[in-house]
């Protein structure tokens, strides 16, 4: 696990001070530079800089680093000074960014600035005593960043860096960063031809290539069977809806900024759907229901479209066109606890099958004091939140509570994981909803003959196939377990001339047994073909030569191993079968 710089007191101070050192060096090299903010982040620090017409490129970072080293060697002390509002406005009068910051400070804030040699910056601190302490740092990258993060504003240049107390710590960290880059699903996705993107299709719209599609198909089959066995009923619904549908659901008023704009066809106004709940509400409402029919679980692998900021889209992890492993569960209020428990059990079951061990459960609750933000039914909220807690406790699950993070319509549980690069993301989610069934006027007939409104649980176990696949690629570093691997077995004849026929026979035989097999009988050296099987991370390589042909046996090697095992054909099939059943 990489160090969280922000949370470590010493590293936080060091990195914050290093951001100032960076700014000072930039100021020496680009005297017209103006500085916005330079905070410490989990991964180190950055500074947002306005350089006017000048552009800093990756190759310029070295020059800036050299200047930083020079300043550090000079060893000036870092001195704090407190200022009155008037003094601060006077001191920074030439700098519109700092003036902006001063004007936005909360009343009563002590305004302070830090000086080191010829450089002064407005800052709360704290800082290290002297620039001498800033010896072991590295500038990592430069990118564009909108002023105040708003795409309507102009662009600044953001330089990222990291600083440690010792060279050993710095080097270890850089090594970890390198490994994370290697694990990044965008890199592996390219290396293994899993997915691609193209400007002509658009940002955040990946195209799944045959290898990636095979993986996705396994995930679909897997979760479909699980859900079927748990009483889910799957549907297909269109990936558009009318504006009126989303007005009825409330998304038009509350979620529009995340949606693609409306398109008109004849007299109808359509939107690409960002969520599937409204469609599923209509499916439920299509027939009458008695309390005896509930829970009703409507599932769909549903294509959704969301507007994600162009800077936020990332490989398969954050896309604009995604496929949710979605379901809406319609329950009576008494069934909430039980049904929620089943969802949590399913999440745990799935994570076990995929060997996922590092994740965090987050329970998002309402802020009871915020009457505006939350659907108003105190009793309902309290009961529901307590039930969710009870269920999590009954599993002995470690979770943290996020007060004020619930959706308007109910509390929710999210499962968060950490990608190789970048902040945590949510995979699975389960959200309680008291409101949507009312908006769609849904009902069931209760025991006493009265009409009641069901409660809905929105849940997605994989989240989306897109995000889950991104995660799986990083978890496995592209060496997928046998049951998921796009190519499970590659068959390599030692010499095609002598053993080609036997290799073809074995390949067909494995295909008939339903394995995904490739035959590599190219006219290349054996060593070369064996290495390629490793590069492609194929789980099992079958090597067939004189002995195997004569005895009608099989020799195989596993990914990442050097040893070869020989066995009968039957034993080989049993071996594969067992590994698939155990999902190894």
Active-site residue flag, 458 = yes
List the single partner that 536 binds among Zn ion, ligand TSB, none, CB under 5 to 8 Å by kind: none
CA dihedral sign, ordered 392, 396, 402, 403: positive
15's contact among ligand TSB, Zn ion, none, with CB below 5 to 8 A by partner kind, is none
Decide: 208 and 216 in contact? Cβ < 8 Å: yes
Task: Tell whether residue 273 is a contact of Zn ion (CB under 5 A).
Answer: no
DSSP string, 392-438: HHHTT--EEEEET-SBTTB-EEEEEE--SSSS-EEEEEEEEESSHHH
Residue 325 beta carbon to Zn ion: minimum distance, rounded to whole angstroms? 12
d(CA 329, CA 260): 27
DSSP state of 106: P
Let me know if 136 is a catalytic residue: no
Least Å distance, CB 380 to Zn ion, is: 19
Q: How far is the CB of 324 from ligand TSB (least distance, A)?
A: 5
Report if residue 183 touches Zn ion, rule: CB under 5 A: no
Alpha carbon distance 19, 142 (integer Å): 13
Q: Are 421 and 180 contacting, i.e. CB atoms less than 8 angstroms apart?
A: yes
Q: Are 234 and 284 in contact (CB under 8 A)?
A: no
**Measured from the CB of residue 439, what is the shortest distance to Zn ion in angstroms?**
13
β-bridge mates for residue 410, sequence order: 407
Q: Of Zn ion, ligand TSB, none, which one sits near residue 420, judging by CB under 5 to 8 A according to partner kind? A: none
Binding-site member from 277, 321, 336, 420 for Zn ion (CB under 5 A)? 277
Instruction: Answer whether 17's CB lies under 8 Å from 115's CB.
Output: no
Q: Which residue in 277, 321, 323, 430 is the catalytic one? A: 277
Contacts (Cβ under 8 Å, ≥6 apart) of 284: 296, 298, 328, 330, 437, 440, 442, 454
Is 412 an annotated catalytic residue? yes
**Token pair of 11 as six digits:** 């590293």
Q: Which of 127, 183, 186, 306 is catalytic?
A: 306
Residue 281: which of Zn ion, ligand TSB, none does it interact with, CB under 5 to 8 A by kind?
none
326 in catalytic set:
yes
Give me the sheet containing 455-464, strands edge to edge: 232-234, 296-305, 321-331, 455-464, 425-433, 412-417, 360-365, 399-403
Shortest distance in whole angstroms from residue 203 CB to ligand TSB: 12
Distance, in Å, from the CA atom of 544 to the CA atom of 500, rounded to the nearest integer, reads 9
Q: Which is nearer to ligand TSB, 430 or 485 (CB)?
A: 430
Total number of residues that touch Zn ion (CB under 5 A): 2
CB of 458 to Zn ion, least distance (A): 3
Interacting stretch for Zn ion, rule CB under 5 A, among 1-9, 176-184, 269-277, 302-310? Answer: 269-277
- Part of the chain binding Zn ion (CB under 5 A), chosen from 207-215, 304-312, 407-415, 451-459: 451-459
CB of 343 to Zn ion, least distance (A): 13
Q: Of 216, 306, 342, 458, which lies in the binding site for Zn ion, with binding defined by CB under 5 A? A: 458
Q: Which is nearer to ligand TSB, 9 or 253 (CB)?
A: 253
CA distances from 155 to 52, 53, 150, 227, 502 (A): 10, 11, 9, 47, 63
Token duo for residue 335: 């069934």
The residue among 64 and 188 lying less far from ligand TSB, judged by its C-beta, is: 188
Strand partners, 558: 540
Q: In sequence order, which residues have a C-beta less than 8 Å from that of residue 78 and are 6 or more positions away?
A: 17, 20, 114, 115, 116, 127, 128, 129, 130, 131
415: β partners: 361
32 is catalytic: no
Residues near ligand TSB (CB under 6 A) are 275, 277, 306, 308, 318-319, 322, 324, 326, 328, 426-427, 429, 458-460, 463-464, 466-467
Could you say whether residue 251 binds Zn ion (CB under 5 A)?
A: no
CB contact set of 254 (below 8 Å; sequence gap of 6+): 408
Give the residue at shortest CB distance from ligand TSB. 463
- Distance between CA atoms of residues 312 and 296, nearest Å: 36
Catalytic choice (34, 136, 216, 458): 458
> What string marks each residue from 121 to 160 as x (binds Zn ion by CB under 5 A) or -?
----------------------------------------
Residues linked to residue 566 through DSSP beta bridges, in sequence order: 555
- Nearest distance from residue 138's CB to Zn ion, in Å? 44
488 binds, among ligand TSB, Zn ion, none (CB under 5 to 8 A by kind): none
Q: Which residues would be at the binding site for Zn ion (CB under 5 A)?
A: 277, 458
Catalytic positions, please?
277, 306, 324, 326, 328, 412, 458
């Amino acid at each position: 696990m990489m160090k969280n710089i922000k949370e470590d007191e010493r590293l936080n101070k060091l990195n914050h001070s290093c951001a100032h050192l960076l700014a000072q060096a930039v100021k020496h090299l680009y005297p017209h530079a103006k500085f916005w903010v330079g905070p410490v982040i989990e991964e180190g620090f950055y500074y947002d800089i306005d350089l006017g017409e000048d552009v800093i490129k990756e190759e310029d970072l070295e020059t800036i680093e050299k200047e930083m080293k020079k300043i550090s060697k000079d060893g000036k002390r870092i001195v704090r000074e407190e200022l009155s509002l008037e003094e601060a406005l006077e001191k920074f009068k030439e700098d519109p960014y700092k003036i902006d910051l001063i004007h936005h400070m909360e009343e009563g804030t002590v305004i302070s600035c830090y000086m080191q040699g010829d450089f002064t910056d407005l800052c709360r601190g704290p800082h290290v005593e002297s620039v001498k302490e800033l010896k072991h740092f590295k500038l990592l990258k430069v990118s564009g960043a909108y002023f105040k993060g708003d795409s309507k504003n102009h662009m600044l240049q953001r330089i990222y860096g990291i600083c440690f107390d010792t060279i050993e710590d710095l080097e270890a960290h850089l090594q970890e960063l390198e490994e994370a880059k290697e694990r990044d699903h965008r890199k592996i996705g390219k290396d293994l031809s899993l997915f691609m993107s193209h400007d002509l299709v658009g940002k955040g719209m990946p195209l799944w290539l045959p290898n990636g599609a095979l993986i996705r198909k396994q995930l679909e089959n897997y979760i479909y069977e699980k859900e079927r066995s748990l009483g889910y009923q799957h549907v297909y619904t269109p990936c558009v809806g009318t504006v009126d549908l989303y007005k009825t659901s409330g998304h038009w008023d509350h979620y529009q900024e995340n949606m693609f704009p409306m398109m008109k066809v004849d007299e109808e106004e359509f939107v690409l759907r960002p969520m599937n709940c409204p469609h599923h509400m209509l499916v439920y409402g299509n027939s009458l229901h008695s309390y005896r029919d509930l829970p009703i679980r409507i599932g769909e692998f549903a294509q959704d479209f969301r507007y994600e900021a162009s800077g936020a889209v990332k490989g398969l992890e954050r896309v604009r066109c995604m496929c949710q492993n979605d379901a809406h569960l319609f329950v009576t209020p008494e069934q909430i606890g039980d049904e929620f428990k089943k969802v949590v059990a399913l999440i745990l079951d799935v994570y076990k099958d995929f060997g996922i061990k590092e994740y965090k459960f987050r329970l998002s609750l309402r802020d009871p004091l915020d009457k505006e933000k939350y659907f108003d039914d105190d009793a309902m909220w309290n009961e529901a939140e307590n039930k969710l807690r009870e269920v999590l406790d009954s599993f002995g699950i470690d979770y943290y509570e996020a007060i004020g993070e619930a959706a308007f319509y109910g509390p929710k549980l999210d499962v968060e994981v950490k990608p190789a690069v970048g902040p945590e993301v949510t995979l699975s989610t389960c959200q309680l909803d008291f409101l949507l069934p009312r908006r769609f006027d849904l009902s069931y007939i209760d025991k006493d003959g009265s009409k009641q409104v069901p409660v809905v649980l929105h849940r997605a176990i994989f989240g989306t196939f897109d995000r889950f696949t991104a995660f799986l690629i990083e978890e496995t570093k592209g060496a997928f377990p046998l049951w998921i691997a796009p190519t499970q077995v590659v068959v390599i004849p030692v010499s095609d001339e002598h053993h080609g026929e036997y290799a073809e026979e074995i390949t067909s035989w494995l295909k008939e047994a339903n394995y995904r097999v490739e035959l590599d009988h190219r006219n290349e050296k054996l060593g070369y073909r064996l290495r390629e099987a490793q590069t492609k991370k194929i789980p099992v390589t079958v090597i067939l030569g004189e002995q195997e042909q004569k005895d009608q046996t099989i020799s195989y090697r596993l990914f990442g191993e050097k040893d070869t095992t020989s066995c009968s054909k039957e034993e080989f099939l049993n071996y594969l079968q067992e590994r698939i059943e155990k999902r190894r």
